[in-house]
Amino acid sequence: MTAPTDARTPVAAPEDFSSLLKTRGLYPQAPAFAAQSAVSSQQSALSQTQATTILAFKYAVGVLVAGDRRATAGNVLVYDRADKVLEIDQHSLMAIAGVPATAWEMARVLEHSFQFYRRSQLAEMSLEGKVRALSKLLRDNLGAVLQGIGIVVPIFATYDHAGAAARLYFYDAMGAQFEAADYATTGSGSPAVRSVLHYENTWGKKPLAKLREEDAVLLALRALDTAAESDTATGGVDRRGRIYPIVKLIGSAGITTLPEKALGKLFKKHVA
């Protein structure tokens, strides 16, 4: 005969924030798989909002992460002030290319996962844990990706205090993670941006890792403006509307967001 369960018996606490969301039925679920005909009709009827282009590279004292501001749906400009570089904690950034609705939800879950770990364990999550947490979110979104909806291809940048070094990672849509040695870029304008960064890193006056802050920011502005010349989904710099990319810097002291006025002065003096 089985002994009655004591209602006061403590329940084991979830290991992480994602597990807690699942036990409460609040974890974001990818749509169930559908028949190919249904997928095709859904794709033709639904124009997803897409966000591109993002880049990140290591410079003299940290990592620079930048993204243009344009969001599109097919050939329609949905928004010209989208924020694609999101702060996850005091030393970590997630830059997004793909569907903003999915990416922003991932960023919220990731941010609260880090907070949950910090408050429950009274310690910062390890670098490996942070990197794998984003990989798991991407893998959980695989069902939507295979249906052609909700795809996200992010970049994750952070400062590793244990190793006293900036770290930079990029992912594919299935959650595979790769550490970038010098730079990473993704989105529809990434081929042009990658070419600019490769040229500067290989044949420029200085390799990317030795650039001062101002030179690094100028390179990011020029790279995104170059991408906008050949890719309609990339906003680059809107000279008429005075809309500049989001540029954030990560160093040992934390994250710095460059104000639009400072970007405008640099662009007007050295680029325009």
Per the document, the length of the chain is 272
| 165 sits in which H/E element | strand 165-171
Q: CA-CA distance, 154 to 78, in Å (whole number)? A: 20
Residue 53 has which token pair? Answer: 């282009």
Dihedral sign (CA 19, 23, 25, 26): negative
Contact by Cβ (8 Å): 63, 57: yes
- Exactly one of 2, 9, 52, 186 is catalytic; name it: 52
Q: CA-CA distance, 210 to 201, in Å (whole number)? A: 10
* 9 is known as an active-site residue: no
3-state secondary structure of 88: strand
Q: What is the DSSP letter of 182?
A: S
Q: CA-CA distance, 259 to 272, in Å (whole number)? A: 18
Q: CA-CA distance, 139 to 103, in Å (whole number)? A: 13
Contact by Cβ (8 Å): 60, 71: no
Backbone angles phi, psi at 117, to 5 degrees: -65, -45
Q: Which residues contact 165 (CB under 8 A, 6 or more apart)?
A: 159
Contact by Cβ (8 Å): 95, 53: no
Contact by Cβ (8 Å): 125, 133: yes
Partners of 64 in the β-ladder: 57, 249
- So which residues are the catalytic ones? 52
